Structure 1
Amino acid sequence: MFWLFCAFLTLAVGTAIAAPLLRRAATDAQDSAAAFDLQVYRDQLREVDRDLERDIISLDEAQRLKTEIGRKVLDADRRMETDATRRRTGNALAALTMLGLLLAGTFALYLREGQPGSPDLPIARRIALAERAYDSRPDQAAAEAAAPAVPTPEVDEDYATLVQDLRDAVAARPDDPQGLTLLATSEARLGNMTAAREAQQKLVDHLGDKVSAGQLLQLAALMTEAAGGLITPDAEEVLARALQKDPRLPQGRYMLGLLQLQNGRPDRAFPVWRRLLEEGPPDAPWNQPIQASIRDLAWLAGQPDYVPPEAAPALPGPDGDQMQAAEDMSPQDRQQMIEGMVARLEGRLAEQGGTPQEWARLIGSLAVLGQTDRARAIYAEAQSRFGDAPEAIAPINTAAEQAGLIQ
């Protein structure tokens, strides 16, 4: 069936290429020199008839002229037909050459990018292969060993010293929840994803049944990052625990959809991401990656007519010129610029209000700047504003957990 469709498509393309070339041959034939001569001879025949009517020439002379011009007409007609045949032949050869090059290029591209020997897979077979891929995932240790190395970002020496002091403090007090939380966050910012995952794992183990859904989700996210983006069976188990504590956890539902995508089940990923996209606020941070792929995902899930809700504008932040300027600054100047941007965001939220995501951004930014007390005050104010709306307070709580403000 596939090759029959290809043959039909090739024939249609070949016809579309050849038809205008053949029509051009007929037009060229009409514009040839022989066609011009033929028109001249026909005019001469009409001129002979007019001269005969006006008695300028005799009947015998008229017959002689018509016979001579008639022979020229026949000769011009033969030459015009020969030119047309030659042009049709040349254009047909050009069309066949172009078609041959097109077919050869298409076939070469298919051999490179396609899978000529692969049979058509019925849906049951596809599901079976997806289940096999799901069952054969590597565990966390194997995935971390195979993950590509993460580039180490450049950090200020003072910050690196603070992180090392934090490591020493956590080693001296391994059961301090706040120290473990800060260490996991700091290691992640340095690109030490395995160390961050280990710190978060110690925090989860220490808290036991008191661990929150956000802390479990953070562990699942760090495990995924340390595994090179793969959600391993170990990370999936932690994710399931987080969703068991809070089934509406947006980031957890996003990871659940991603898990289904990684294992070849767009039919399962689509309803998860669709509900997340339609239920959550339009400016939720997880909406951007979902919006980028939801149409393709809907098509793969058998719902090609799905129309996603309109995406919200991006959260305010530095533009390209500001980012380029920040790269050329000294660490002190860069710090001042960041502090200025955070101060402007804080002032705008105080005067005009903003979305939950902007409040979460402010809390996280203040924590990064080391202004923990100010971040705690902003978190308290955000709770008073959004505490009655669980979906709105969720990203704020997550930011507070990641900043170490709540356990």
Structure 2
Amino acid sequence: MTFWIIATAIALLSIAPIALVLRRGRGMGAQSTSTAEIEMKVYRDQLKEVERDLARGVLSLDDAKRARTEVSRRMLEADKEHQGGKAGAPKGTLWGAIALAVALLGGGVWLYGDLGQPKYEDLPLAHRIALADEIRATRMSQDEAEAKVPATPMAQQADQQLVDLVIKLRAALQSRPDELEGHMLLARNEANIGNFREAYLAQSEVIRIKGAEATAEDYAQMANMMILAAGGFVSPEAETALSNALKRDPNNGIAVFFSGLMFAQNDRPDMTFRLWQPLLTRSEPTDPWLPLIREQIEAVAQAAGIRYTLPPANDGLKGPSAEDMENAADMTPQERQEMIRGMVEGLSARLANEGGTPEEWARLISSLAMLGDTERAKAIWGEAQVIFGADPAKLAVVRGGAERAGFVE
């Protein structure tokens, strides 16, 4: 009902200018009539004045005749203009305005009936939250969600040695149900071959054995396995595991991410954003949830009615810490150079052993050149061309480091 009251008020406001113009038009017509009557009275008085002047001998007969002719001519022109103004006003103006108003109102109602949702009830914020809570409370259980997930051949494609190890572990733990290390190993390897249900069941045994010593990471890993088993759906049982993780560590990244996902699946993007935005800010570039948040957080913010711009990605290149800078202030130039060289060597070792981003390779090349180790920088540039040669965009980033080093134009 509130909607229709507002819509009617808006329609009436849109018609008001038309009515105002018509009213002004009618007022102008009345004003025009009044002005014409005044002019005619003036001219009649002038004719009477001419007759009086003629009788007193002030005007000659010829002058009086010319005066009568001029005043009469003016009277005819004034009357003609007055009659023309009346004829110029359209006779159907009022009815036309009424027809226009009806068309506007009727057309608006028809369009809303065709494109809108006339029977859709108002949804104030409290009502929407209540609906979301109801959806959350009545969503599928873990077993129901798993039943909807299509069978996957992942376990069949796993390494046979790993599958054999899992089978042996299962058999061994039948007679040793309280062996912690065995259940931890079983949970990890069940997940590795794609048996996520068996994985979280084994992880639940880990938590049972640990008892009060179970950590936030233990619960978060179990929730992760449950969500994977349910095809990405966060069930009430998985939510319980997430809650247990957050009770032990409110900043556990896995638990915070999946809690946000749970709210997104239950029409609460505002809660998702409230969890994901701080997590995005404090996450490291290597955190597994980071790319998932970056892909979705802008859409989540929009759904929540929040203006948000995704910050630039952190390339993971860390410079000296505040402590390093403070210590460097007391160093000799040679000691500072050695500190920088140590940081560069650390980056070089990490890239050699673990690989890294194009930005890190570019930094290593330019840093080595800055330290005077140009030949080594050139060698690493050659190695980078092999690694990133298939991706021109990434290779262009590394080339930037070589250009800063001065041996590539």
Relative to the length of structure 2, the TM-score reads 0.47
RCO (CA 8 Å, sep 6+): is it higher in 1 or 2? 1
Which one has the largest radius of gyration?
Answer: 2
